[in-house]
Amino acid sequence: MALWQKKPKVKISARHTTVGTWFSGEHLLFEVRDSAKKLVMELSRDRAQSDPMLDTYLTLTLKGQPLAFIQTSGCPTCQSLLAAGYGLRSDCLELRKAADAIAAPFADLEDALERLAPVTGLLAPGYYTLSLADCFPTDGSGHFFWDIPNGFTSSPATAETYDPESYSVLPVFPRFLYPSQSTGKYDPRQVEAYRRQLREGKPLPPAFAYCAFAYLSILLDGHHRACACALEGVSLPCLLLSSARFAGRDGDWKVVWPDEERETVPGVSIPLEQMHRCFPASPSAPPPVPGELFRRQWEPEYRRAAARYPDTVEAGALALYGREALTPEGIQALPEPEGSLVPPVLLSYFCRQPGTDAKKLALSFAGKDVPPKLREAAFRVLASIQGDPEIEDLFVDYLVECEQRDDPLRRIADGYWG
């Protein structure tokens, strides 16, 4: 019997719960032994590339099949280039068994981990995190997750969002998705069946993904469920598997949960070799060549659907905001370090949500006493509402009063009439 066909030894070390207004989830830290090293992240370098910021590649492989490539920027707050591999192999029996097992209701996350044994048996020995959380069927930059170009493309979800005014990084959990299936496998009948389930109030079985690149997870199972959720405007429940993250030194290590909470786990001894998240490819391996998985012209409703969801920056702002609705009082109550980037981002997100009175909300932040960046965001929202007499009067008054021709609000107001 092949090694990856044997049941791995799995030991659960700790459990953690994320509780937030906009982001919640359950997480398990577990150790896997006697596993096959068939679902791994490989690191390779382009020996012919002289720029050290462009010579490093990471490849997520499943049983030797590349699923996604990233040309790393080398900087955690700089976007990297992302490209698809060659698609999931149809003969991956372990993935199919795991997907079938989690399709039936499970009691808790421990039960789900037990059912995922066929896939955990493909991992390299080491520490991992299994999370149950809601994901967005987008790429983190306002695009439907399956509607992406072939070839290497800059991906905002591969970088942390740095606010230069507050000298801080916005928190974002791995909630965005990247496909591993060819668009040739898209079946509208499956999508419609899942949509009917959602309309009838029936929960969908969770999808399954591997958290590979910062805030982005490679979807291994659940592409049609993600399509249905996008069209219905809801999030997709996902089981997310990722390499565990640790922080510390010597013998004092803390696990870093997906929500960035840090916790000492008694009894966890971390050999240095098990902290490596990537495995070296052959030194002679050539630079990755992207696959050609995406050749479908998606319907406009898919493209429009992505606007309902937050992008990476908005997701971080929502995590900090912690309230169910956007109000002037809530914005004013934000701690000072989050005052520069977060408020205008929140305003932009809430104003485009279905059912929101965008004009009324934006007008409440358009006054003279509002901080400049937030007021500018309000003006941009108002400028997108054409043919409104009240907005026209506001902009005319501002143009009359403002004498600075390079004022950003003046430029927005001046461009309202095209």
Question: pLDDT tens for residues 372-405?
Answer: 889 999 999 999 999 999 999 999 999 999 888 8
Do 328 and 295 fall within a single domain?
no
Helix (H), strand (E) at residue 57: strand 56-62
Token reading at 289: 């060549």
Q: Is residue 310 part of a domain?
A: no
Q: Is residue 307 part of a domain?
A: no
Residue 76, pLDDT score:
84
Q: At residue 251, does pLDDT exceed 80?
A: no
Residue 378, pLDDT score:
96
Do 373 and 261 fall within a single domain?
no
Do 367 and 280 fall within a single domain?
no
Q: At residue 226, does pLDDT exceed 60?
A: yes
Q: Is residue 312 part of a domain?
A: no
Residue 274, pLDDT score:
53
Residue 69, pLDDT score:
92
Q: Is residue 317 part of a domain?
A: no
Class of residue 323 by CB neighbours under 10 A (exposed 0-12, middle 13-18, buried 19+): middle
Which range among 144-148, 210-214, 268-272, 306-310 shows the weakest confidence by mean pLDDT?
268-272
Query: How many secondary structure helices (H) and strands (E) does the chain include?
Result: 13, 18
Q: At residue 4, does pLDDT exceed 90?
A: no
Instruction: Indicate the pLDDT class of residue 77, thresholds 50, 70 and 90.
Output: confident
Q: Answer positive or negative: Cα dihedral of 173, 176, 179, 185.
A: positive
Q: Is residue 306 part of a domain?
A: no
Residue 267, pLDDT score:
76
Do 215 and 284 fall within a single domain?
yes
Residue 201, pLDDT score:
95
Question: Percent of the chain having pLDDT more than 70?
Answer: 93
Residue 183, pLDDT score:
95
Q: At residue 176, does pLDDT exceed 90?
A: yes
CB of 293 closer than 8 Å to CB of 179: yes
Query: What are the distances in angstroms from CA 103 to CA 7, 112, 116, 205?
Result: 20, 10, 11, 5
| End position of a domain, from candidates 240, 270, 301 | 301
Do 251 and 400 fall within a single domain?
no
Instruction: Indicate the pLDDT class of residue 284, thresholds 50, 70 and 90.
Output: low
Which range among 45-54, 168-177, 199-208, 288-297 shows the weakest confidence by mean pLDDT?
45-54
Q: At residue 276, does pLDDT exceed 60?
A: no
Distance CA 180, CA 173 (A): 20
Counting the structural domains of the chain, the total is 2
| End position of a domain, from candidates 243, 267, 301 | 301
Token reading at 205: 């079985």
Do 288 and 341 fall within a single domain?
no
Do 289 and 361 fall within a single domain?
no
Side-by-side strand order, sheet with 207-213: 9-18, 25-33, 126-135, 236-243, 207-213, 216-221, 176-178
Name the residue range of residue 339's domain: 323-417
Distance CA 246, CA 113 (A): 21
Do 156 and 257 fall within a single domain?
yes
Do 192 and 74 fall within a single domain?
yes
Mean pLDDT, residues 296-325 taken together? 92
Do 180 and 107 fall within a single domain?
yes
Q: Is residue 266 part of a domain?
A: yes
Instruction: Indicate the pLDDT class of residue 216, thresholds 50, 70 and 90.
Output: very high
302-307 own/partner pairs: CB under 8 Å, 24+ apart: 302/144, 302/146, 302/147, 302/227, 302/230, 302/231, 303/143, 303/144, 303/147, 305/137, 305/144, 305/230, 305/231, 305/233, 306/137, 306/138, 306/142, 306/143, 306/144, 306/147, 306/230, 307/142, 307/352
Q: What is the mean pLDDT of the chain?
A: 89
Residue 56, pLDDT score:
87
Mean pLDDT, residues 223-232 taken together? 98
Residue 199, pLDDT score:
96
Q: What phi, psi does 330 have (nearest 5°)?
A: -65, -40
Residue 329, pLDDT score:
86
Residue 7, pLDDT score:
66
Q: Is residue 405 part of a domain?
A: yes
Do 201 and 329 fall within a single domain?
no
Q: Is residue 223 part of a domain?
A: yes
Q: At residue 1, does pLDDT exceed 50?
A: no
pTM here is: 0.91
